[in-house]
């Protein structure tokens, strides 16, 4: 069973891929975000993943996780119909 912060193990696996590119990491990160359970705290999950894997600071996924923590949270515009 995968932890709720990485339900498919995508982030874990990205750190195991030797020579992975920034573009590949971005694609994996998008898939990861879409696989989070409804209502999950994305920033908390990002922080947990960064704490777990961030020791590999030269890895492109580490930079993306850090970027995700500093990016503004998306807001919903408009009303529900």
Mean pLDDT of the chain, nearest integer: 86
DSSP 4-62: TTSTT-HHHHHHHSTT--HHHHHHHHHHHHHHSPTT--HHHHHHHHHHHHTT-TTSHHH
Examine the pLDDT at 79 and tell me if it is beyond 70.
no
Q: How confident is the model at residue 39 (pLDDT cuts 50, 70, 90)?
A: confident
Supply φ then ψ for residue 9, to 5 degrees: 75, 20
């Amino acid at each position: 069973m995968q932890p709720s912060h990485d339900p498919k193990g995508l982030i874990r696996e990205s750190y195991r891929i030797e020579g992975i590119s920034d573009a590949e990491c971005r694609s994996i990160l998008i898939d990861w975000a879409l696989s989070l359970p409804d209502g999950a705290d994305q920033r908390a999950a990002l922080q947990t993943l960064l704490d777990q894997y961030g020791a590999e600071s030269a890895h492109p996924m580490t930079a993306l996780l850090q970027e995700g923590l500093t990016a503004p949270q998306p807001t919903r515009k408009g009303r529900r119909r």
